[in-house]
Amino acid sequence: MLIKRVCFVLASLFLNSFLFAQEMLVIQSENLKTSDTIWVYKPEAYTNKQKYPLVYLLHGHGGDYTSWSKLTDLQKLADEYQFLIVCPDGLKKSWYINSPHQDSTQYEDFFMKELLPAISKKYAEDPSKVFITGNSMGGYGAMWLFLKHPDVFLSAGSTSGVLNLRYSSLKKTTVAYLLGDYSDDNTLFDEYSPINLLKNIAGASKAIIFDCGTEDYLYVTAKAFREKCDELKIKATYTAQPGAHTGSYWSKSILQHFRFFAEQVTQITDAKATKLK
């Protein structure tokens, strides 16, 4: 009986510590005309007395703020790398953009004007070490937001991202709902494609990471994105590896992104230490 009681107490302490490290926020948004739910992971030993790197992690089409938690152990990643991890809800099909149609969602404005300030105010983030990445639609959104606002993020990633909207399998459905009917003449599909925004970081010291499975229908867009990075001399880590457009692929590929971001944090820390010598 004593052993059972001790085990129960230890389990309760572990559960309380685990739950304390995670929080759910709800933001009533004017830009979305609805509320957005955000799941935040903190390192277990989180304290407001120090600043933490932060990763915004965006889910794919049809998913929600819980999608990434079903693919990988986000609490383990938060603890291992001492990162804050923020998983907003992309409202299934927002594509994380401002639609030219004013009656549609203005997700970019929500993200930049409502979500980022709310997270910065509530958590001890290091504003010089903010990253963003995601999968599929989320990979698109991560690169889109980074390339539109490179001054806000240190780096970005994309795993199986839709880096050219003209190759999306949803270009005639949910993308068309936001940008208008798909056609060769609808230039919004080009203007909203990350591959055409890489020029925004040409000549900068920004480094990015992206990957795609060789069996993924978007593999051709990743190759073209790599070629554009080479043309513009952008610091890009690109991985082409076996895999399809699946959760089993993303559960492994996202780990590469966290290692990449952690390396950048280490580089900054080492550079500062060298200057102090």
Q: What confidence category does residue 20 fall into, taking pLDDT thresholds of 50, 70 and 90?
A: confident
Average pLDDT over residues 212-235: 98
> Is pLDDT above 80 for 223?
yes
Average pLDDT over residues 186-193: 98
> Is pLDDT above 90 for 6?
no
Would you say 194 and 163 are in contact if contact means Cβ atoms under 8 Å apart? Answer: yes
The mean-pLDDT minimum among 15-24, 70-79, 102-111, 223-232 falls in: 15-24
Give the span between the Cα atoms of 267 and 275, in whole angstroms: 12
Give the span between the Cα atoms of 127 and 144, in whole angstroms: 19
Q: What confidence category does residue 86 fall into, taking pLDDT thresholds of 50, 70 and 90?
A: very high
DSSP 187-223: THHHHT-GGGTGGGGTTS--EEEEEEETTSTTHHHHH
| Span 152-176, pLDDT tens digits | 999 999 999 999 999 999 999 999 9
Would you say 62 and 91 are in contact if contact means Cβ atoms under 8 Å apart? Answer: no
The residue among 32, 59, 212 whose CA lies nearest residue 137 is 59
| Span 234-252, pLDDT tens digits | 999 999 999 999 999 999 9
- pLDDT of 7 reads 32
Q: Residue 226: which residues within 8 A CB-CB, separation 6 or more?
A: 210, 236, 238
- pLDDT of 22 reads 97
- pLDDT of 66 reads 98
> Is pLDDT above 90 for 84?
yes
Q: What confidence category does residue 277 fall into, taking pLDDT thresholds of 50, 70 and 90?
A: low
- pLDDT of 46 reads 98
> Is pLDDT above 60 for 17?
no
The mean-pLDDT minimum among 15-19, 42-46, 83-87 falls in: 15-19
Give the span between the Cα atoms of 257 and 275, in whole angstroms: 28
Give the span between the Cα atoms of 46 and 52, in whole angstroms: 9
Q: What confidence category does residue 19 fall into, taking pLDDT thresholds of 50, 70 and 90?
A: low
Give the span between the Cα atoms of 166 and 154, in whole angstroms: 28
Residue ranges of domains in the chain, CATH in brackets: 22-272 (3.40.50.1820)
> Is pLDDT above 70 for 10?
no
Q: What confidence category does residue 209 fall into, taking pLDDT thresholds of 50, 70 and 90?
A: very high
> Is pLDDT above 80 for 9?
no
The pair of three-digit structure tokens given for residue 134, joined into one six-digit string: 């995601």
Q: What percent of the chain has pLDDT over 90?
A: 87
